[in-house]
């Protein structure tokens, strides 16, 4: 007969943290948000750690190279999506690994005969106000000049006029020659008091752009996650169907971590895939498994599959309908607590620590903080990152607001049958487990991560902790009633944000 667990499935919004003693040393500047990614023995440290405990979902609408570059620069990690041809995924990893901080490929380019109207539309589309003009409008075309939104007046100038009438022509542009170091480029920017330096090759073609703001950004990003060759760290999603072809190709790029991407990871297929990779590549790469929602599954992946980290979560993702479609899953908080409890038992028994990742369903910063307090070593997020400028989807205007498409890997749009199919695989895709949606654009990855990390550090100080492991050890949580949930919002006041119409 079926067994019914005593516990009700619970989610993060049902809990609050009780503050602990805060002392003088508990200040955000003293707090470390470093988190292990790979398994390690008691007394040792993980061979790869995050400086910021956030990773991106391996999803088409989330994790391309721009996202991976932006997040690694902030100390987190992206798993480049695997629901694409192997060569294409390799190219994305290549871009991250060869990313020279500071030299960026231009993604907003115009031809000289494009109109001002085109320039305005392009700026709205990419969010970038500096647009090189090349002979064919491509990012590596012959460089003819540059136009920024300071060069014209949108409501005064003739929007049908060509950009060539308004751009600064090449002869008047300060540029750098290909081969110049980043330091030299920054000195040029500083001496010439410029915001942007185009880099041209010997034939006068545009190679890349160097921005003053990136230099400032770099100085403000001491958490950057680099490998031992000073390249950005990047991960890749893989599946249990074509890993024998995919993994060797991705390893040519010296990818740092794999995450076996499956909606149900408690399977022999995960074990076979993880052991095969380990046999081929030893400990040179971190291997994560999942997703699971209970202690038995954790132990199976830890003991039998020997994975480095275990990912928790079935059916909680913002675009996920697995629970509705198949009746499997578990409230994310209950799932996470069951798995972290097993991880701690396993550590006590064996002296081996296996990091746990809470994946999906994190609807706001508070829930991220609660997940880390419940013992997640790091969190994986899709929606959170899909909303940023760096996600690989185009911006669309709906009803005057800017959105980006965000779709599940189990949606008809992604058709990632490998993530959901068991056994030999059946790519006929008979039913959906994810939806196709839109999310509002909220700014850059840096904008959102900075705010979340600031809140996290502040809460860690409230609990009296300076590291994430201390945070989880000291955390005391209370379940809340519906009434205390209401009490937690604004009450008995007229809120300028919620209750009064805003002047536009």
- Where do contacts with ligand MZP occur on this chain (CB under 6 A)? 57, 59, 291, 313, 317-320, 322, 359-362, 380-384, 408-411, 433-434
Give min distance, CB of 320 to ligand MZP, in A.
Answer: 3
Q: Which is nearer to ligand MZP, 162 or 313 (CB)?
A: 313
Shortest distance, CB of residue 488 to ligand MZP, whole angstroms?
21
- The residue among 56 and 109 lying less far from ligand MZP, judged by its C-beta, is 56
Known catalytic residue at 320:
yes
Q: Rounded to an integer, what distance in angstroms lies between the CA atom of residue 381 and that of residue 311?
A: 12
108 or 270, CB closer to ligand MZP?
270
Report the distance separating Cα 69 and Cα 338, nearest Å.
Answer: 33
Least gap, CB of 405 to ligand MZP (angstroms) = 13
Which residues, 6 or more positions from 169, have their beta carbon under 8 angstroms from its beta carbon? 144, 145
Residue 269 phi/psi, 5-degree rounding, is: -65, -35
Nearer to ligand MZP, 431 or 485 (CB): 431
- Distance from C-alpha of 278 to C-alpha of 123, rounded to nearest angstrom: 46
Nearer to ligand MZP, 322 or 389 (CB): 322
Residue 427 neighbours by CB distance under 10 Å? 10
Q: Do residues 57 and 360 touch, judged by C-beta distance below 8 A?
A: yes
Q: Which is nearer to ligand MZP, 66 or 409 (CB)?
A: 409
The residue nearest ligand MZP at its CB is: 434
Query: Is 221 buried (19+), middle (13-18) or exposed (0-12) by CB count in 10 A?
Result: middle
Count of residues in the chain: 504
CA 234, CA 72: separation in Å to the nearest integer?
Answer: 7
Tell me how far, at minimum, the Cβ of 361 lies from ligand MZP, in Å.
Answer: 5
Decide whether 190 or 412 has the Cβ nearer to ligand MZP.
Answer: 412
Q: How many helices (H) and strands (E) does the chain have?
A: 16, 23
Q: What is the rounded CA–CA span in Å between residue 149 and residue 74?
A: 28
Catalytic residue (choose from 82, 196, 259, 320): 320
DSSP secondary structure letters along 28-69: GGG----EE-S-EETTS--SSEESSSEEE-S-TTT-SHHHHH
Give min distance, CB of 30 to ligand MZP, in A.
30
The distance of closest approach from Cβ of residue 263 to ligand MZP in the complex, given in angstroms and rounded to an integer, is: 6
Q: Which of 39, 73, 419, 461 is catalytic?
A: 419
Choose between 141 and 410: whose C-beta lies nearer to ligand MZP.
410
Dist. CA 188–CA 194, nearest whole Å = 8
The 3-state DSSP class for residue 205 equals strand
Q: What is the 3-state secondary structure (H, E, C) of 330-396?
A: CCHHHHHHHHHHHHHHHHHHHCEECCEEEECCCCCHHHHHHHHHCCCCEEEECHHHHCECCCCCCCE
Minimum CB separation of residue 307 from ligand MZP in Å reads 16
In whole angstroms, the minimum distance from the beta carbon of 257 to ligand MZP comes to 15
Active site residues: 320, 419
């Amino acid at each position: 007969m079926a067994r019914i667990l005593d516990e009700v499935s619970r989610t993060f919004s049902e809990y609050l943290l009780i503050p602990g003693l805060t002392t003088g040393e508990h200040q955000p500047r003293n707090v470390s948000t470093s988190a292990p990614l790979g398994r390690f023995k008691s007394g040792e440290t993980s061979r790869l750690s995050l400086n910021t405990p956030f990773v991106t979902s391996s999803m088409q609408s989330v994790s391309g190279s721009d996202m991976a570059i932006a997040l690694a620069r902030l100390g987190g990690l992206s798993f480049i999506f695997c629901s694409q041809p192997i060569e294409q995924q390799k190219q994305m990893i290549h871009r991250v690994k060869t990313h020279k901080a500071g030299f960026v490929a231009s993604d907003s380019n115009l031809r000289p005969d494009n109109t001002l109207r085109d320039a305005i539309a392009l700026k709205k589309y990419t969010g970038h106000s500096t647009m090189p003009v090349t002979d064919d409008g491509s990012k590596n075309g012959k460089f003819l000049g540059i136009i920024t939104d300071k060069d014209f007046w949108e409501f005064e100038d003739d929007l049908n006029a060509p950009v060539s009438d308004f751009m600064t022509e090449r002869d008047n542009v300060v540029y750098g020659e290909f081969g110049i170091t980043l330091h030299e480029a920054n000195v040029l920017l500083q001496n010439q008091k410029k915001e942007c330096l185009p880099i041209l090759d010997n034939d006068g073609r545009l190679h890349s752009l160097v921005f003053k703001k990136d230099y400032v950004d770099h100085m403000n990003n001491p958490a950057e996650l680099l490998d031992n060759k000073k390249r950005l760290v990047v991960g890749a999603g893989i599946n249990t169907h074509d890993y024998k072809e995919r993994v060797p190709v991705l390893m040519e790029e010296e990818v740092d971590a794999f995450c076996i991407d499956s909606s149900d990871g408690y399977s022999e297929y995960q074990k076979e895939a993880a052991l095969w990779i380990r046999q081929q590549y030893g400990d040179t790469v971190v291997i994560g498994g999942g997703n699971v929602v209970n202690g038995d599954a954790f132990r199976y992946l830890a003991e039998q599959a020997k994975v480095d980290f275990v990912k928790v979560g079935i059916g909680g993702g913002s675009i996920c309908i697995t629970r509705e479609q198949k009746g499997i899953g578990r409230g994310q908080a209950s799932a996470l607590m069951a798995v972290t409890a097993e991880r701690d038992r396993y550590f006590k028994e064996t002296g081996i620590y296996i990091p746990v990742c809470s994946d999906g369903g994190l609807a706001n910063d508070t829930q991220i903080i609660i997940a880390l307090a419940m013992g997640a070593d790091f969190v994986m997020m899709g929606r959170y990152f899909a909303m940023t400028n760096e996600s690989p989807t185009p911006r669309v205007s709906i009803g005057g607001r800017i959105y980006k498409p965000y779709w599940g890997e189990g949606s008809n749009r992604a058709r990632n049958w490998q993530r959901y199919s068991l056994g030999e695989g059946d790519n006929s895709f008979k039913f959906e487990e994810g939806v196709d949606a839109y999310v509002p654009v909220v700014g850059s990855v840096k904008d959102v991560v900075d705010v979340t990390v600031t809140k996290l550090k502040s809460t860690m100080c409230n609990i009296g902790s300076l590291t994430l492991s201390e945070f989880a050890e000291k955390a005391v949580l209370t379940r809340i009633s519906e009434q205390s949930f209401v009490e937690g919002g604004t009450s008995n006041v007229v809120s300028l944000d919620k209750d009064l119409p805003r002047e536009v």
